[in-house]
A and B are shown apart, each in its own frame.
Chain A
Amino acid sequence: MTADLEVRLIHDGIKWVAYHQSFEACGHTLLDLDQDLTRCLLDTQLFPDNTQVTVFMVFDYNCIPTWIRQYAYHYFNRHVRLNLKSPLLKGQ
Protein backbone atom coordinates (compact mmCIF):
# COMPACT_ATOMS: atom_id res chain seq x y z
CA MET A 1 0.00 0.00 0.00
CA THR A 2 1.47 3.37 -0.96
CA ALA A 3 1.24 6.15 1.59
CA ASP A 4 0.91 9.89 1.11
CA LEU A 5 2.75 10.59 4.33
CA GLU A 6 5.09 8.71 6.66
CA VAL A 7 5.35 9.45 10.38
CA ARG A 8 7.34 7.96 13.27
CA LEU A 9 5.18 6.39 15.96
CA ILE A 10 6.19 6.02 19.59
CA HIS A 11 4.54 5.52 22.96
CA ASP A 12 6.04 7.69 25.70
CA GLY A 13 4.54 5.70 28.57
CA ILE A 14 1.41 7.83 28.70
CA LYS A 15 0.33 8.58 25.16
CA TRP A 16 0.95 7.63 21.54
CA VAL A 17 2.93 10.25 19.61
CA ALA A 18 3.31 10.57 15.81
CA TYR A 19 6.31 12.66 14.74
CA HIS A 20 6.72 14.47 11.47
CA GLN A 21 9.07 17.32 10.61
CA SER A 22 6.06 19.64 10.32
CA PHE A 23 4.01 18.54 13.32
CA GLU A 24 3.65 16.30 16.35
CA ALA A 25 0.32 14.56 16.97
CA CYS A 26 -0.58 12.68 20.13
CA GLY A 27 -3.38 10.78 21.82
CA HIS A 28 -4.04 8.42 24.71
CA THR A 29 -5.51 5.86 22.34
CA LEU A 30 -4.75 5.23 18.71
CA LEU A 31 -8.19 6.60 17.85
CA ASP A 32 -7.35 9.83 19.72
CA LEU A 33 -4.03 9.92 17.88
CA ASP A 34 -5.72 9.61 14.50
CA GLN A 35 -8.08 12.46 15.35
CA ASP A 36 -5.21 14.69 16.46
CA LEU A 37 -3.27 13.75 13.35
CA THR A 38 -6.20 14.82 11.21
CA ARG A 39 -6.26 18.15 13.04
CA CYS A 40 -2.49 18.61 12.52
CA LEU A 41 -2.76 17.88 8.82
CA LEU A 42 -5.54 20.40 8.46
CA ASP A 43 -3.57 22.99 10.45
CA THR A 44 -0.35 22.54 8.50
CA GLN A 45 -2.15 22.40 5.13
CA LEU A 46 0.17 19.70 3.84
CA PHE A 47 -2.78 18.38 1.84
CA PRO A 48 -5.85 20.16 0.50
CA ASP A 49 -9.03 20.08 2.59
CA ASN A 50 -11.63 17.45 1.86
CA THR A 51 -9.18 14.85 0.56
CA GLN A 52 -8.42 11.37 1.77
CA VAL A 53 -4.86 10.81 2.94
CA THR A 54 -3.13 7.52 3.66
CA VAL A 55 -0.63 7.81 6.49
CA PHE A 56 2.01 5.18 7.18
CA MET A 57 2.95 5.07 10.87
CA VAL A 58 6.30 3.38 11.43
CA PHE A 59 6.65 2.17 14.99
CA ASP A 60 10.02 3.21 16.42
CA TYR A 61 11.42 0.01 17.88
CA ASN A 62 13.63 2.03 20.21
CA CYS A 63 10.58 2.09 22.50
CA ILE A 64 11.27 -1.60 23.21
CA PRO A 65 14.20 -2.26 25.58
CA THR A 66 17.36 -3.56 23.90
CA TRP A 67 17.46 -6.86 25.78
CA ILE A 68 14.05 -7.86 24.42
CA ARG A 69 14.96 -7.22 20.80
CA GLN A 70 16.76 -10.57 20.51
CA TYR A 71 13.40 -12.31 21.01
CA ALA A 72 11.42 -10.29 18.47
CA TYR A 73 12.47 -7.53 16.10
CA HIS A 74 9.14 -6.25 14.91
CA TYR A 75 6.24 -4.58 16.71
CA PHE A 76 3.74 -3.09 14.30
CA ASN A 77 3.30 -0.46 11.63
CA ARG A 78 0.00 1.12 10.66
CA HIS A 79 -1.57 2.31 7.46
CA VAL A 80 -4.38 4.73 8.30
CA ARG A 81 -6.74 6.48 5.91
CA LEU A 82 -7.80 9.91 7.15
CA ASN A 83 -10.52 12.12 5.75
CA LEU A 84 -9.31 15.70 5.90
CA LYS A 85 -12.55 17.53 6.45
CA SER A 86 -12.15 20.94 8.00
CA PRO A 87 -14.59 21.85 10.81
CA LEU A 88 -16.22 24.27 8.39
CA LEU A 89 -16.84 21.55 5.81
CA LYS A 90 -17.91 19.04 8.47
CA GLY A 91 -20.58 21.49 9.64
CA GLN A 92 -22.07 21.82 6.17
Chain B
Amino acid sequence: MNRKWYSGMARTEDWWAVWLGLTMFLASVSSLWGLDLTGWMAKPNTWVWGKFSFDAVLKASGKQGWHPVLSWLVTYLVFTALTCLAAWAMKFDLKRFVAGWTVLFVMTWIIWIIGQEAHFKVPVNEFAKFGLSWGLSLGGGFSYLLALLVGLIIGNFFKGTAGFLSEAAKPEWFIKTAIVFLGIKIGVMSMEAAGFITELVITGIAATFVAYMLFWPIVYALGRRVFHLSRDASAVLASGISICGVSAAIATAGAIRARPVIPVVVSILVVIFAMFELIILPGFYTAIAPNQPIVNGSALGLTVKTDGADAAAGAMLDELMRANAEANLGVRWKEGWILMASLTTKIWIDMFIGVWAFVLALVWVYKVERQPGQSKVGLMEIWHRFPKFVLGYLLVWFSYITIASTGPEIAKTLHEAATPVEGSMRTMMFMLTFLSIGVITDFSKLRGMGKLALLYAIALFGIIAPIAYAVAWIFHRGMMPPAL
Protein backbone atom coordinates (compact mmCIF):
# COMPACT_ATOMS: atom_id res chain seq x y z
CA MET B 1 0.00 0.00 0.00
CA ASN B 2 1.22 3.52 -0.77
CA ARG B 3 0.33 6.15 1.77
CA LYS B 4 3.38 8.43 1.81
CA TRP B 5 5.59 9.69 -1.01
CA TYR B 6 8.50 7.68 0.40
CA SER B 7 6.54 4.41 0.70
CA GLY B 8 8.45 1.47 -0.69
CA MET B 9 11.93 3.00 -0.59
CA ALA B 10 13.27 0.07 1.43
CA ARG B 11 10.98 -2.67 0.26
CA THR B 12 10.59 -2.59 -3.51
CA GLU B 13 12.82 -3.89 -6.26
CA ASP B 14 12.36 -0.64 -8.14
CA TRP B 15 13.97 1.36 -5.34
CA TRP B 16 16.61 -1.29 -4.64
CA ALA B 17 17.74 -1.03 -8.25
CA VAL B 18 18.39 2.64 -7.49
CA TRP B 19 20.29 1.89 -4.27
CA LEU B 20 22.48 -0.80 -5.86
CA GLY B 21 23.17 1.37 -8.90
CA LEU B 22 24.06 4.41 -6.79
CA THR B 23 26.28 2.31 -4.50
CA MET B 24 28.41 1.22 -7.44
CA PHE B 25 28.42 4.70 -8.97
CA LEU B 26 29.63 6.17 -5.67
CA ALA B 27 32.25 3.43 -5.48
CA SER B 28 33.59 4.61 -8.83
CA VAL B 29 33.42 8.28 -7.80
CA SER B 30 35.59 7.42 -4.78
CA SER B 31 38.47 7.03 -7.27
CA LEU B 32 38.71 10.83 -7.24
CA TRP B 33 40.05 10.47 -3.69
CA GLY B 34 42.55 7.79 -4.74
CA LEU B 35 40.46 4.77 -3.77
CA ASP B 36 39.91 1.74 -6.01
CA LEU B 37 36.57 0.27 -5.00
CA THR B 38 35.54 -1.18 -8.37
CA GLY B 39 38.71 -2.83 -9.71
CA TRP B 40 37.90 -6.15 -8.01
CA MET B 41 35.11 -6.85 -10.52
CA ALA B 42 35.83 -9.97 -12.56
CA LYS B 43 35.37 -10.00 -16.30
CA PRO B 44 35.58 -12.79 -18.86
CA ASN B 45 38.15 -12.88 -21.66
CA THR B 46 37.77 -14.18 -25.18
CA TRP B 47 39.39 -17.62 -25.19
CA VAL B 48 39.99 -20.44 -27.65
CA TRP B 49 38.77 -24.02 -27.30
CA GLY B 50 41.61 -26.32 -26.17
CA LYS B 51 43.42 -23.50 -24.37
CA PHE B 52 41.24 -23.26 -21.27
CA SER B 53 42.74 -21.95 -18.04
CA PHE B 54 41.45 -19.54 -15.40
CA ASP B 55 44.02 -16.98 -16.50
CA ALA B 56 42.81 -17.33 -20.09
CA VAL B 57 39.09 -16.95 -19.42
CA LEU B 58 38.89 -14.53 -16.48
CA LYS B 59 40.63 -11.45 -15.14
CA ALA B 60 40.10 -8.65 -12.66
CA SER B 61 38.89 -5.38 -14.18
CA GLY B 62 41.39 -3.15 -12.43
CA LYS B 63 43.36 -5.00 -9.77
CA GLN B 64 46.54 -5.96 -11.61
CA GLY B 65 48.14 -9.04 -10.10
CA TRP B 66 44.95 -10.45 -8.59
CA HIS B 67 44.33 -14.09 -9.38
CA PRO B 68 41.18 -14.33 -11.55
CA VAL B 69 39.51 -16.73 -9.14
CA LEU B 70 40.05 -14.30 -6.27
CA SER B 71 38.49 -11.54 -8.38
CA TRP B 72 35.50 -13.79 -9.16
CA LEU B 73 35.06 -14.73 -5.49
CA VAL B 74 35.13 -11.08 -4.42
CA THR B 75 32.58 -10.33 -7.16
CA TYR B 76 30.33 -13.09 -5.81
CA LEU B 77 30.72 -11.93 -2.19
CA VAL B 78 30.07 -8.25 -2.91
CA PHE B 79 26.99 -8.88 -5.03
CA THR B 80 25.69 -11.57 -2.70
CA ALA B 81 26.02 -9.24 0.28
CA LEU B 82 24.27 -6.38 -1.52
CA THR B 83 21.44 -8.44 -2.99
CA CYS B 84 20.91 -10.28 0.31
CA LEU B 85 20.64 -6.97 2.14
CA ALA B 86 18.02 -5.92 -0.40
CA ALA B 87 16.26 -9.30 -0.21
CA TRP B 88 16.13 -9.03 3.60
CA ALA B 89 14.69 -5.50 3.38
CA MET B 90 12.12 -6.68 0.85
CA LYS B 91 11.17 -9.56 3.16
CA PHE B 92 12.12 -12.32 0.73
CA ASP B 93 12.72 -15.81 2.11
CA LEU B 94 16.44 -15.21 2.71
CA LYS B 95 17.56 -18.85 2.79
CA ARG B 96 15.80 -19.60 -0.49
CA PHE B 97 17.11 -16.37 -1.97
CA VAL B 98 20.76 -17.10 -1.10
CA ALA B 99 20.54 -20.64 -2.43
CA GLY B 100 18.77 -19.57 -5.64
CA TRP B 101 21.03 -16.55 -6.15
CA THR B 102 24.17 -18.66 -5.77
CA VAL B 103 22.99 -21.18 -8.35
CA LEU B 104 21.94 -18.42 -10.77
CA PHE B 105 25.23 -16.58 -10.25
CA VAL B 106 27.39 -19.65 -10.91
CA MET B 107 25.30 -20.66 -13.94
CA THR B 108 25.46 -17.11 -15.30
CA TRP B 109 29.24 -17.05 -15.16
CA ILE B 110 29.65 -20.51 -16.68
CA ILE B 111 27.36 -19.53 -19.58
CA TRP B 112 29.05 -16.16 -19.95
CA ILE B 113 32.49 -17.77 -20.17
CA ILE B 114 31.26 -20.38 -22.69
CA GLY B 115 29.80 -17.55 -24.80
CA GLN B 116 33.19 -15.84 -24.87
CA GLU B 117 34.78 -18.76 -26.72
CA ALA B 118 36.32 -17.38 -29.90
CA HIS B 119 34.48 -19.66 -32.36
CA PHE B 120 31.18 -18.24 -31.13
CA LYS B 121 32.21 -14.66 -30.59
CA VAL B 122 34.97 -13.11 -32.69
CA PRO B 123 34.32 -11.35 -36.02
CA VAL B 124 35.75 -12.67 -39.27
CA ASN B 125 38.54 -10.11 -39.39
CA GLU B 126 39.91 -11.40 -36.07
CA PHE B 127 40.00 -15.09 -37.00
CA ALA B 128 43.75 -14.91 -37.69
CA LYS B 129 44.42 -13.28 -34.31
CA PHE B 130 42.83 -16.26 -32.52
CA GLY B 131 44.06 -18.89 -35.01
CA LEU B 132 40.56 -19.84 -36.18
CA SER B 133 39.55 -21.45 -39.45
CA TRP B 134 35.83 -20.96 -38.83
CA GLY B 135 33.47 -19.12 -36.46
CA LEU B 136 29.89 -17.91 -35.99
CA SER B 137 30.84 -14.24 -35.38
CA LEU B 138 27.90 -13.69 -33.01
CA GLY B 139 29.73 -11.21 -30.78
CA GLY B 140 28.62 -11.09 -27.16
CA GLY B 141 25.09 -11.97 -28.28
CA PHE B 142 25.81 -15.67 -28.07
CA SER B 143 26.20 -15.50 -24.27
CA TYR B 144 22.79 -13.83 -24.02
CA LEU B 145 21.15 -16.39 -26.32
CA LEU B 146 22.68 -19.26 -24.39
CA ALA B 147 21.55 -17.82 -21.03
CA LEU B 148 18.03 -17.40 -22.38
CA LEU B 149 17.97 -20.92 -23.80
CA VAL B 150 19.20 -22.49 -20.56
CA GLY B 151 16.65 -20.45 -18.60
CA LEU B 152 13.81 -21.50 -20.89
CA ILE B 153 14.78 -25.16 -20.62
CA ILE B 154 14.72 -24.90 -16.82
CA GLY B 155 11.48 -22.89 -16.80
CA ASN B 156 9.61 -25.30 -19.05
CA PHE B 157 11.15 -28.74 -18.49
CA PHE B 158 12.51 -28.61 -14.91
CA LYS B 159 9.70 -26.87 -13.10
CA GLY B 160 10.85 -28.01 -9.68
CA THR B 161 14.22 -26.36 -10.24
CA ALA B 162 12.49 -23.27 -11.64
CA GLY B 163 10.39 -23.10 -8.48
CA PHE B 164 13.52 -23.40 -6.34
CA LEU B 165 15.22 -20.58 -8.31
CA SER B 166 12.15 -18.34 -8.46
CA GLU B 167 12.88 -16.57 -5.16
CA ALA B 168 16.07 -15.18 -6.72
CA ALA B 169 15.10 -15.06 -10.41
CA LYS B 170 14.04 -11.39 -10.59
CA PRO B 171 14.65 -10.16 -14.15
CA GLU B 172 13.00 -6.78 -13.61
CA TRP B 173 15.16 -6.05 -10.58
CA PHE B 174 18.35 -7.15 -12.31
CA ILE B 175 17.62 -5.17 -15.47
CA LYS B 176 16.63 -2.02 -13.59
CA THR B 177 19.91 -2.20 -11.68
CA ALA B 178 21.74 -2.63 -15.00
CA ILE B 179 19.89 0.38 -16.40
CA VAL B 180 21.05 2.53 -13.48
CA PHE B 181 24.60 1.33 -14.26
CA LEU B 182 23.91 2.36 -17.86
CA GLY B 183 23.44 5.92 -16.63
CA ILE B 184 27.24 6.00 -16.48
CA LYS B 185 27.51 4.82 -20.06
CA ILE B 186 25.14 7.45 -21.38
CA GLY B 187 27.14 9.96 -19.35
CA VAL B 188 30.30 8.81 -21.15
CA MET B 189 28.47 8.93 -24.48
CA SER B 190 27.17 12.42 -23.75
CA MET B 191 30.75 13.57 -23.19
CA GLU B 192 31.80 11.98 -26.49
CA ALA B 193 28.87 13.04 -28.68
CA ALA B 194 26.55 15.46 -26.92
CA GLY B 195 24.74 16.45 -30.13
CA PHE B 196 23.91 12.89 -31.09
CA ILE B 197 22.64 12.01 -27.60
CA THR B 198 20.46 15.15 -27.55
CA GLU B 199 19.00 14.25 -30.95
CA LEU B 200 18.45 10.65 -29.84
CA VAL B 201 16.64 11.77 -26.71
CA ILE B 202 14.41 14.33 -28.44
CA THR B 203 13.49 12.07 -31.36
CA GLY B 204 12.93 9.28 -28.83
CA ILE B 205 10.39 11.40 -26.94
CA ALA B 206 8.63 12.36 -30.19
CA ALA B 207 8.53 8.77 -31.47
CA THR B 208 7.18 7.53 -28.14
CA PHE B 209 4.44 10.14 -28.07
CA VAL B 210 3.34 9.50 -31.65
CA ALA B 211 3.36 5.71 -31.28
CA TYR B 212 1.58 5.89 -27.96
CA MET B 213 -1.25 8.01 -29.32
CA LEU B 214 -1.80 5.39 -32.03
CA PHE B 215 -1.30 2.13 -30.12
CA TRP B 216 -3.74 2.50 -27.25
CA PRO B 217 -6.90 3.59 -29.08
CA ILE B 218 -6.41 1.06 -31.89
CA VAL B 219 -5.94 -1.90 -29.54
CA TYR B 220 -8.76 -0.74 -27.26
CA ALA B 221 -11.14 -0.45 -30.25
CA LEU B 222 -10.04 -3.87 -31.53
CA GLY B 223 -10.76 -5.42 -28.14
CA ARG B 224 -14.18 -3.79 -27.83
CA ARG B 225 -15.51 -4.02 -31.39
CA VAL B 226 -13.93 -7.14 -32.85
CA PHE B 227 -13.35 -9.31 -29.79
CA HIS B 228 -16.29 -7.93 -27.75
CA LEU B 229 -14.28 -7.68 -24.53
CA SER B 230 -15.55 -5.71 -21.55
CA ARG B 231 -14.41 -2.11 -21.10
CA ASP B 232 -12.05 -2.95 -18.26
CA ALA B 233 -10.51 -5.98 -20.03
CA SER B 234 -9.99 -3.95 -23.23
CA ALA B 235 -8.42 -1.05 -21.34
CA VAL B 236 -6.06 -3.26 -19.34
CA LEU B 237 -5.04 -5.22 -22.42
CA ALA B 238 -4.57 -2.04 -24.48
CA SER B 239 -2.29 -0.58 -21.81
CA GLY B 240 -0.35 -3.81 -21.34
CA ILE B 241 0.37 -4.25 -25.02
CA SER B 242 0.74 -0.57 -25.93
CA ILE B 243 2.68 0.91 -23.06
CA CYS B 244 4.99 -0.90 -20.71
CA GLY B 245 3.62 -4.36 -20.18
CA VAL B 246 2.90 -5.66 -16.70
CA SER B 247 3.40 -2.34 -14.92
CA ALA B 248 0.96 -0.66 -17.32
CA ALA B 249 -1.56 -3.49 -17.05
CA ILE B 250 -1.56 -3.29 -13.25
CA ALA B 251 -1.50 0.51 -13.20
CA THR B 252 -4.45 0.67 -15.57
CA ALA B 253 -6.36 -2.07 -13.74
CA GLY B 254 -5.76 -0.28 -10.45
CA ALA B 255 -6.80 3.05 -11.94
CA ILE B 256 -10.08 1.68 -13.25
CA ARG B 257 -10.61 -0.66 -10.27
CA ALA B 258 -10.70 -3.79 -12.45
CA ARG B 259 -11.00 -7.26 -10.95
CA PRO B 260 -7.44 -8.45 -10.17
CA VAL B 261 -7.78 -11.48 -12.42
CA ILE B 262 -7.71 -9.22 -15.50
CA PRO B 263 -4.23 -7.72 -14.99
CA VAL B 264 -2.96 -11.14 -13.88
CA VAL B 265 -4.07 -12.76 -17.16
CA VAL B 266 -2.75 -9.86 -19.21
CA SER B 267 0.55 -9.99 -17.31
CA ILE B 268 0.99 -13.65 -18.17
CA LEU B 269 0.43 -12.80 -21.84
CA VAL B 270 2.84 -9.86 -21.68
CA VAL B 271 5.65 -11.90 -20.14
CA ILE B 272 5.27 -14.84 -22.49
CA PHE B 273 4.91 -12.76 -25.65
CA ALA B 274 7.90 -10.64 -24.58
CA MET B 275 9.87 -13.86 -24.81
CA PHE B 276 8.77 -14.36 -28.44
CA GLU B 277 9.72 -10.75 -29.19
CA LEU B 278 13.09 -11.23 -27.54
CA ILE B 279 13.81 -14.35 -29.57
CA ILE B 280 12.48 -13.10 -32.93
CA LEU B 281 12.96 -9.35 -33.26
CA PRO B 282 16.74 -8.74 -32.84
CA GLY B 283 17.62 -11.27 -35.54
CA PHE B 284 14.72 -10.16 -37.75
CA TYR B 285 15.64 -6.46 -37.61
CA THR B 286 19.31 -7.28 -38.21
CA ALA B 287 18.32 -9.26 -41.30
CA ILE B 288 15.86 -6.78 -42.84
CA ALA B 289 17.59 -3.49 -42.04
CA PRO B 290 21.27 -4.06 -41.31
CA ASN B 291 22.10 -0.43 -42.12
CA GLN B 292 19.49 1.19 -39.84
CA PRO B 293 20.89 0.55 -36.35
CA ILE B 294 19.15 3.37 -34.47
CA VAL B 295 15.81 2.79 -36.21
CA ASN B 296 16.01 -0.87 -35.21
CA GLY B 297 16.93 -0.03 -31.62
CA SER B 298 14.11 2.47 -31.26
CA ALA B 299 11.60 0.10 -32.90
CA LEU B 300 12.52 -2.53 -30.30
CA GLY B 301 11.96 -0.02 -27.50
CA LEU B 302 8.52 0.77 -28.88
CA THR B 303 7.57 -2.88 -29.39
CA VAL B 304 8.97 -5.01 -26.56
CA LYS B 305 6.82 -4.69 -23.48
CA THR B 306 8.86 -5.42 -20.40
CA ASP B 307 11.98 -3.55 -19.32
CA GLY B 308 13.84 -6.81 -18.91
CA ALA B 309 12.98 -8.16 -22.35
CA ASP B 310 13.48 -4.77 -24.00
CA ALA B 311 16.93 -4.19 -22.54
CA ALA B 312 17.84 -7.81 -23.19
CA ALA B 313 16.61 -7.58 -26.80
CA GLY B 314 18.41 -4.24 -27.21
CA ALA B 315 21.65 -5.75 -25.95
CA MET B 316 21.27 -8.70 -28.31
CA LEU B 317 20.43 -6.40 -31.24
CA ASP B 318 23.49 -4.29 -30.40
CA GLU B 319 25.73 -7.35 -30.52
CA LEU B 320 24.15 -8.89 -33.64
CA MET B 321 24.08 -5.65 -35.64
CA ARG B 322 27.64 -4.69 -34.78
CA ALA B 323 28.90 -8.17 -35.61
CA ASN B 324 26.96 -8.11 -38.89
CA ALA B 325 28.11 -4.59 -39.79
CA GLU B 326 31.72 -5.51 -39.15
CA ALA B 327 31.45 -8.65 -41.26
CA ASN B 328 29.26 -7.38 -44.12
CA LEU B 329 29.29 -3.59 -44.17
CA GLY B 330 32.94 -3.09 -43.30
CA VAL B 331 32.19 -0.70 -40.44
CA ARG B 332 32.78 -1.06 -36.69
CA TRP B 333 30.14 0.77 -34.68
CA LYS B 334 30.83 1.67 -31.08
CA GLU B 335 29.22 -0.67 -28.58
CA GLY B 336 26.12 0.39 -26.68
CA TRP B 337 24.53 2.99 -28.99
CA ILE B 338 21.90 0.66 -30.45
CA LEU B 339 21.06 -0.60 -26.97
CA MET B 340 20.83 3.01 -25.83
CA ALA B 341 18.35 3.82 -28.63
CA SER B 342 16.17 0.94 -27.48
CA LEU B 343 16.37 1.86 -23.80
CA THR B 344 15.90 5.59 -24.25
CA THR B 345 12.62 4.97 -26.05
CA LYS B 346 11.45 2.46 -23.44
CA ILE B 347 12.29 4.73 -20.55
CA TRP B 348 10.12 7.54 -21.93
CA ILE B 349 7.29 5.05 -22.21
CA ASP B 350 7.85 3.92 -18.62
CA MET B 351 7.88 7.49 -17.35
CA PHE B 352 4.56 8.17 -19.01
CA ILE B 353 2.69 5.33 -17.32
CA GLY B 354 2.06 7.30 -14.12
CA VAL B 355 0.42 10.10 -16.07
CA TRP B 356 -1.61 7.64 -18.15
CA ALA B 357 -2.82 5.78 -15.05
CA PHE B 358 -3.87 9.11 -13.56
CA VAL B 359 -5.77 10.15 -16.71
CA LEU B 360 -7.52 6.77 -16.93
CA ALA B 361 -8.45 6.91 -13.26
CA LEU B 362 -10.02 10.35 -13.82
CA VAL B 363 -11.93 9.14 -16.88
CA TRP B 364 -13.21 6.03 -15.10
CA VAL B 365 -14.15 7.60 -11.78
CA TYR B 366 -15.70 10.78 -13.14
CA LYS B 367 -17.14 9.56 -16.46
CA VAL B 368 -17.38 5.80 -17.11
CA GLU B 369 -18.47 4.72 -13.63
CA ARG B 370 -19.61 7.99 -12.16
CA GLN B 371 -21.40 7.49 -8.83
CA PRO B 372 -22.38 9.96 -6.12
CA GLY B 373 -19.97 10.20 -3.18
CA GLN B 374 -17.35 8.09 -4.88
CA SER B 375 -13.63 7.93 -4.30
CA LYS B 376 -11.34 10.72 -5.44
CA VAL B 377 -8.22 10.42 -7.57
CA GLY B 378 -5.09 11.95 -6.09
CA LEU B 379 -2.14 13.42 -7.97
CA MET B 380 0.09 11.21 -5.82
CA GLU B 381 -1.02 8.36 -8.11
CA ILE B 382 1.43 9.72 -10.72
CA TRP B 383 4.31 9.54 -8.23
CA HIS B 384 3.35 6.06 -6.99
CA ARG B 385 3.32 4.78 -10.57
CA PHE B 386 6.53 6.53 -11.60
CA PRO B 387 9.33 4.02 -12.23
CA LYS B 388 11.88 4.94 -9.56
CA PHE B 389 14.83 3.28 -11.28
CA VAL B 390 14.55 6.00 -13.93
CA LEU B 391 15.46 8.50 -11.20
CA GLY B 392 18.62 6.50 -10.50
CA TYR B 393 19.44 6.37 -14.21
CA LEU B 394 18.98 10.12 -14.66
CA LEU B 395 20.83 10.95 -11.43
CA VAL B 396 23.84 8.85 -12.42
CA TRP B 397 23.80 10.23 -15.98
CA PHE B 398 23.76 13.90 -14.97
CA SER B 399 26.11 13.38 -12.00
CA TYR B 400 28.64 11.75 -14.29
CA ILE B 401 28.49 14.64 -16.78
CA THR B 402 28.74 17.21 -13.99
CA ILE B 403 31.76 15.58 -12.38
CA ALA B 404 33.53 14.73 -15.65
CA SER B 405 33.05 18.27 -16.93
CA THR B 406 35.21 19.72 -14.17
CA GLY B 407 38.49 18.78 -15.88
CA PRO B 408 40.21 16.26 -18.18
CA GLU B 409 42.20 14.58 -15.38
CA ILE B 410 39.10 14.08 -13.26
CA ALA B 411 37.18 12.83 -16.32
CA LYS B 412 39.94 10.29 -17.08
CA THR B 413 40.13 9.01 -13.47
CA LEU B 414 36.35 8.73 -13.20
CA HIS B 415 36.08 6.99 -16.56
CA GLU B 416 38.65 4.36 -15.57
CA ALA B 417 36.92 3.63 -12.25
CA ALA B 418 33.44 3.63 -13.78
CA THR B 419 34.34 1.30 -16.65
CA PRO B 420 33.90 -1.91 -14.58
CA VAL B 421 30.46 -0.67 -13.46
CA GLU B 422 29.08 0.23 -16.89
CA GLY B 423 31.00 -2.65 -18.47
CA SER B 424 31.28 -6.00 -16.75
CA MET B 425 28.90 -5.30 -13.84
CA ARG B 426 26.21 -4.14 -16.25
CA THR B 427 26.78 -7.10 -18.58
CA MET B 428 26.63 -9.49 -15.63
CA MET B 429 23.24 -8.04 -14.66
CA PHE B 430 22.10 -8.46 -18.27
CA MET B 431 23.21 -12.09 -18.20
CA LEU B 432 21.34 -12.65 -14.94
CA THR B 433 18.30 -11.05 -16.57
CA PHE B 434 18.40 -13.34 -19.61
CA LEU B 435 18.74 -16.44 -17.43
CA SER B 436 16.00 -15.30 -15.02
CA ILE B 437 13.56 -14.35 -17.77
CA GLY B 438 13.88 -17.88 -19.12
CA VAL B 439 13.47 -19.43 -15.67
CA ILE B 440 10.20 -17.61 -14.90
CA THR B 441 8.70 -18.09 -18.38
CA ASP B 442 6.35 -21.05 -18.49
CA PHE B 443 4.74 -21.36 -21.92
CA SER B 444 2.13 -23.80 -20.58
CA LYS B 445 0.44 -20.83 -18.86
CA LEU B 446 -0.92 -19.83 -22.28
CA ARG B 447 -3.35 -22.75 -22.13
CA GLY B 448 -6.97 -21.64 -21.82
CA MET B 449 -6.29 -18.05 -22.88
CA GLY B 450 -7.32 -18.57 -26.52
CA LYS B 451 -9.29 -15.39 -27.24
CA LEU B 452 -7.07 -13.00 -25.30
CA ALA B 453 -3.89 -14.66 -26.57
CA LEU B 454 -5.15 -14.39 -30.16
CA LEU B 455 -6.00 -10.72 -29.70
CA TYR B 456 -2.60 -10.14 -28.12
CA ALA B 457 -0.78 -11.86 -30.98
CA ILE B 458 -2.76 -9.96 -33.66
CA ALA B 459 -2.29 -6.63 -31.93
CA LEU B 460 1.40 -7.19 -31.25
CA PHE B 461 2.58 -8.48 -34.60
CA GLY B 462 -0.12 -6.94 -36.82
CA ILE B 463 -0.43 -3.48 -35.26
CA ILE B 464 2.18 -2.60 -32.64
CA ALA B 465 5.31 -3.91 -34.38
CA PRO B 466 4.60 -2.40 -37.85
CA ILE B 467 3.50 0.99 -36.47
CA ALA B 468 6.48 1.03 -34.09
CA TYR B 469 8.84 0.36 -36.95
CA ALA B 470 7.25 3.04 -39.15
CA VAL B 471 7.39 5.63 -36.36
CA ALA B 472 10.99 4.72 -35.50
CA TRP B 473 11.92 5.01 -39.18
CA ILE B 474 10.27 8.44 -39.51
CA PHE B 475 12.11 9.86 -36.52
CA HIS B 476 15.46 8.03 -36.57
CA ARG B 477 16.22 7.08 -40.18
CA GLY B 478 19.79 7.75 -41.18
CA MET B 479 21.07 8.12 -37.60
CA MET B 480 24.26 6.12 -37.13
CA PRO B 481 26.29 5.27 -34.03
CA PRO B 482 29.82 6.63 -33.97
CA ALA B 483 32.28 4.34 -35.78
CA LEU B 484 35.53 3.12 -34.29
Using a CB–CB distance below 8 Å, which chain A residues touch chain B?
A: 1, 11, 13, 30-31, 58-59, 61, 63-65, 67-68, 70-83
Contact = CB atoms under 8 A, between A and B. Distances in A.
Contacts of B376: 1, 79
A6 B246 CA distance: 28
Given A58-B1, A70-B13, A70-B172, 20 more contacts: A11-B259, A11-B260, A13-B261, A31-B369, A31-B371, A59-B1, A63-B260, A68-B267, A71-B245, A73-B13, A73-B14, A74-B1, A74-B384, A75-B250, A77-B1, A77-B2, A78-B375, A79-B375, A80-B374, A81-B373
Contacts of A59: 1, 254
B173 interface: yes
Interface in B229-260: 245-247, 250-251, 253-255, 257, 259-260
Contacts of B375: 78-80
B268 to A, nearest CB: 9
B170 interface: yes
B272 interface: no
Contacts of B173: 70
A80 B374 CA distance: 6
B193 interface: no
Contacts of A63: 260
B282 to A, nearest CB: 22
Determine the main DSSP class of A at the interface with B: mixed
Determine the main DSSP class of B at the interface with A: helix
B260 A76 contact: no
26 contacts: A11-B260, A64-B264, A65-B264, A67-B440, A68-B250, A68-B267, A71-B172, A71-B246, A71-B247, A71-B306, A72-B246, A72-B247, A72-B250, A73-B12, A73-B14, A74-B1, A74-B254, A75-B253, A77-B1, A77-B2, A78-B375, A79-B376, A80-B373, A81-B373, A82-B373, A83-B373
A57 to B, nearest CB: 8
B364 to A, nearest CB: 11
Contacts of B255: 76
B360 to A, nearest CB: 11
Contacts of B254: 59, 74-76
Contacts of B440: 67
A73 B1 CA distance: 8
B218 to A, nearest CB: 24
B8 interface: yes
Given A79-B375, A81-B373, A71 B250 contact: yes
Contacts of A81: 373
Nearest to B373: A81
A80 B373 CA distance: 7
A73 B9 CA distance: 12
Nearest to B255: A76
Nearest to B14: A73
Contacts of B306: 71
A40 to B, nearest CB: 17
Nearest to A66: B166
Interface string B415-439: 0000000000000000000000000
A80 B375 CA distance: 5
Contacts of B373: 80-83
Contacts of B119: none
B121 interface: no
Contacts of A30: 257
A78 B369 CA distance: 14
A64 B250 contact: yes
B260 A75 contact: yes
Contacts of A67: 166, 440
Interface string B172-185: 11000000000000
Contacts of B385: 74
A65 B246 CA distance: 12
B23 to A, nearest CB: 20
Contacts of B2: 74, 77
A67 B171 CA distance: 11
- Sorted from nearest, which 7 A-B pairs have the closest CB atoms? A71-B246, A76-B254, A72-B250, A81-B373, A75-B254, A78-B375, A70-B172
B264 A11 contact: no
B212 to A, nearest CB: 19
Nearest to B174: A70
Nearest to A75: B254
Contacts of A74: 1-2, 8, 250, 254, 384-385
